[in-house]
Structure 1
């Protein structure tokens, strides 16, 4: 059975399952669900972000307001 078939069967089952079964399945899967929703940067990503932040604070790079960004995207302004 493919994972697509498994997903379809599970969704169909869950749509009609009684509350106690939903709670049991959720309890079983909750640790995985919570982990997937966490957002974490790698050390490399964090280092890049920190370097760009320092460049911004020192004035080495330019920042744009939200409005300026929209104008650049729409071609109404150059950067």
Structure 2
């Protein structure tokens, strides 16, 4: 049996290259399984990160800066 990590990597790759019809089929199979809720721990972490951002205590990037960094990584 393949490792969880390997399976996830293969699925991520497949989703990146799959056509719309296959993406829709995968989504239909999984849509009832998708659970997009945040735990209280997740929410607290988001609140803390936001506060650090607002206080200037953490590095933040604009969309343009993020895209520029990603493009440099891809080269």
TM (normalized to structure 1)? 0.45
Kindly name which structure, 1 or 2, has the bigger radius of gyration based on alpha carbons. Answer: 1
When the two structures are superposed, what TM-score results if normalisation uses the length of structure 2?
A: 0.47
